[in-house]
């Protein structure tokens, strides 16, 4: 495993280790969470929801898992977030450590920015006090970054001010300028980029250091990078779906967990029968033309049920871990979701062993849901 993979793992460990904390100053879980403008959180704020809007001030860290996150007031500590869309419109006094599809920063970040995102935008009002370590597809960098900008992208546009070095690795796409440095850009250090194509660097741009182009070589660690990205996306997706699940079925989930603990082996056999019987039924229905629509519905239901079963068993694993760690009899489903999904999905990714564990998980959940419904 090369240095790049190690760096990403270290980033994930450092960035998201606070998610395992169990003592929070304030905690909010709802479909939509809005911290009002006149509200002040004295300490850290832990939030989960579909849409999270921070209009009030948070004096400590802000930890969020959501579909959409908008910050309109200052955060005194670090921002740690998993969200599909993140907009930062107010000062962050600590670090920004996020995984997102679309990240936009439009204000001050006092320290570092560590981000994994499909698209990253630093607007003209952005002012980052230290360094930025970024991984994604598209970067639009305006504003001011006092330290180093290090990252890997498919395309990057640099229009702002960088106080030290710019170091980028760029994935080549045909008929595309991977790196564009605009006339208004100011870079006080070196520009070191790895790409098969020559960067489009304006003659009016101010670069005080050297410009160095490196030709990419075939990396043996690409398999591990692809695996890591796949797992990050799988975990991120499972967390988002899990949030919806615990909101919709927060009363139903504990009942299923109680059923699982009564007679897991016997009920797993019922789940195995269902797991095998449904695809066979769908296959038989496809033989007849009139049965094809029903077969497609059965297959879709089967796939969704398998996916949800893995998330449910992950929540149960997280609940068991947290109960043993903090000795709390009935913890909220939020932290079991976070801890359980991360641990379970890493286990599920192990070849053969992971498949067996996933099979057992699905059989356990299906069998117990079947028993619970029949008893009702």
Interatomic CA distance for residues 266 and 356, integer angstroms? 17
Instruction: Indicate if the pLDDT at residue 262 is higher than 90.
Output: no
Mean of per-residue pLDDT scores for the chain:
84
Instruction: Indicate if the pLDDT at residue 7 is higher than 80.
Output: no
Domain layout of the chain by residue ranges: 3-214, 222-375
Instruction: Indicate if the pLDDT at residue 4 is higher than 60.
Output: no
Instruction: Indicate if the pLDDT at residue 80 is higher than 60.
Output: yes
- Would you state the structure tokens that stand for residue 317, as one six-digit string? 């694993």
Instruction: Indicate if the pLDDT at residue 353 is higher than 60.
Output: yes
Query: Residue 39 contacts by C-beta under 8 Å, 6 or more apart in sequence?
Result: 55, 56, 57
Instruction: Indicate if the pLDDT at residue 19 is higher than 60.
Output: no
The predicted pLDDT at position 173 comes to 59
Which residues is 92 bridged to in the sheet?
75, 109
The predicted pLDDT at position 328 comes to 60
Q: What is the DSSP letter of 17?
A: G
Residue bearing the bigger pLDDT, 305 or 376 = 305
Instruction: Indicate if the pLDDT at residue 25 is higher than 80.
Output: no
The predicted pLDDT at position 115 comes to 92
List, for residues 171-189, the tens digit of each pLDDT value: 765 556 689 999 999 999 9
Instruction: Indicate if the pLDDT at residue 373 is higher than 60.
Output: yes
Instruction: Indicate if the pLDDT at residue 335 is higher than 70.
Output: yes
Instruction: Using CB atoms within 10 Å of the CB of residue 27, give its burial: 0 to 12 exposed, 13 to 18 middle, 19+ buried.
Output: middle
The predicted pLDDT at position 188 comes to 97
The predicted pLDDT at position 240 comes to 77
Instruction: Indicate if the pLDDT at residue 359 is higher than 70.
Output: yes
Q: Percentage of the chain with pLDDT > 90?
A: 37
Contact 79, 62 (CB under 8 A): yes
Contact 160, 206 (CB under 8 A): no
Task: State the average pLDDT over residues 123-152.
Answer: 95
- What pLDDT band is residue 22 in, cutting at 50, 70 and 90? very low
Instruction: Indicate if the pLDDT at residue 108 is higher than 70.
Output: yes
Instruction: Indicate if the pLDDT at residue 24 is higher than 70.
Output: no
Query: Residue 157 contacts by C-beta under 8 Å, 6 or more apart in sequence?
Result: 139, 140, 141, 180, 182
Task: State the average pLDDT over residues 90-114.
Answer: 95
- What pLDDT band is residue 121 in, cutting at 50, 70 and 90? very high
Degrees, nearest 5: CA angle 114-116-57: 55
Contact 308, 245 (CB under 8 A): yes
List, for residues 38-55, the tens digit of each pLDDT value: 999 998 888 877 899 999
Query: Residue 356 contacts by C-beta under 8 Å, 6 or more apart in sequence?
Result: none
Interatomic CA distance for residues 232 and 373, integer angstroms? 34
């Amino acid at each position: 495993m090369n240095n790049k993979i190690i760096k990403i793992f270290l980033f994930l460990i450092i960035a998201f280790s606070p998610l395992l904390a169990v003592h929070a100053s304030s905690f909010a879980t709802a479909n939509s969470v809005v911290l009002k403008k006149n509200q002040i959180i004295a300490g850290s704020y832990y939030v989960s929801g579909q849409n999270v809007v921070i209009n009030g001030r948070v004096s400590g860290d802000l930890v969020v898992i959501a579909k959409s996150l908008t910050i309109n007031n200052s955060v005194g500590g670090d921002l740690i977030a998993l969200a599909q869309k993140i907009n930062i419109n107010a000062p962050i006094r600590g670090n920004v450590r996020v995984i997102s599809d679309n990240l936009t920063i439009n204000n001050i970040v006092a320290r570092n920015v560590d981000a994994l995102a499909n698209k990253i935008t630093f607007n003209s009002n952005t002012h980052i006090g230290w360094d930025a370590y970024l991984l994604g597809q598209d970067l639009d960098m305006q504003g001011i970054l006092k330290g180093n900008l290090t990252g890997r992208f498919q395309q990057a546009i640099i229009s702002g001010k960088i106080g030290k070095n710019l170091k980028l690795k760029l994935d080549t796409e045909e008929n595309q300028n991977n790196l564009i440095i605009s006339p208004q850009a100011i870079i006080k250090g070196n520009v070191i980029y790895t790409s098969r194509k020559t960067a489009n660097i304006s003659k009016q741009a101010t670069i005080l250091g050297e410009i160095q182009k490196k030709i990419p070589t075939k990396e043996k660690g690409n398999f591990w990078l692809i695996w890591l990205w796949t797992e990050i996306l799988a975990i991120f997706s499972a967390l988002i779906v899990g949030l919806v699940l615990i909101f919709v079925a927060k009363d139903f989930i504990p009942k299923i967990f109680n059923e699982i603990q009564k007679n897991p082996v016997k009920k797993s056999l019922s789940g195995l029968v269902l797991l095998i019987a449904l695809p066979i039924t769908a296959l038989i229905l496809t033989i007849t033309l009139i049965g094809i629509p029903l077969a497609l519905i059965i297959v879709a239901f089967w796939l969704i049920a398998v996916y949800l079963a893995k998330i449910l068993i992950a929540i149960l694993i997280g609940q068991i871990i947290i109960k043993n760690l903090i000795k709390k009899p009935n913890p909220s489903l939020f932290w079991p979701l976070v801890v359980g999904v991360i641990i379970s999905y890493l286990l599920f990714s192990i070849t053969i062993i992971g498949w067996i564990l996933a099979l057992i998980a699905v059989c356990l959940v299906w069998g117990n849901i079947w028993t619970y419904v029949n008893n009702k």
